[in-house]
Structure 1
Amino acid sequence: MKNNLKGELAVMDSLDIKPNYAALGRKYGMDWRTVKKYHNGYEGRSDKRNKGSKLDEYRNEIKDKLAIKRITVQGVYQFMLKKYGVNRIG
């Protein structure tokens, strides 16, 4: 939907038509101020987060355990809880 809005705003810019933000907002189901932000170059929030996990430091150990046949994720989780405790694993 954002791509359609961006395309419509680009067409209006190329034809030197001033966009009616309120009408476009009703058409695309968003606030007129959001439409104006997109018209001024807003790209939207990033889909990816660069936030780490508590388990990043145990990644290799978890992979090694999961490589063993007939081992489940729940089993690895229980093993990690017993080994490191609830406070470190979560």
Structure 2
Amino acid sequence: MPEMRFTIRWPDGSMESCYSPSLVVKDYLTPGQSYTLADFLARSREALTIASARVEARYGFPCSRAIGQLARLERAGQAYATHPDARVAVETFAE
């Protein structure tokens, strides 16, 4: 399966490299775009859930790295949950 990394910028300016076991992330996020925190998390949740399901369909088990990445994003997003104008920018994709 083609895997990819995508780099994001959190509302505080910190950058993070993220992992997906599938290119499906390209259907949900766009480099150069920023998203409200809630929208970014919803898009990431859907994309990484699909990516993990694709691994499961092919190999018989879900992708623990995709599930872990989603958990990491949701945990980190909690730090900005009280900021109504918080946005997350997608910087780059790397395949």
Higher relative contact order (CA 8 A, sep 6+): 2
Higher strand share: 2
Between Structure 1 and Structure 2, the one with more helix by share is 1
TM-score range, shorter chain: under 0.3
Q: TM-score, normalised by structure 1?
A: 0.26
Q: Max radius of gyration: which structure? A: 1
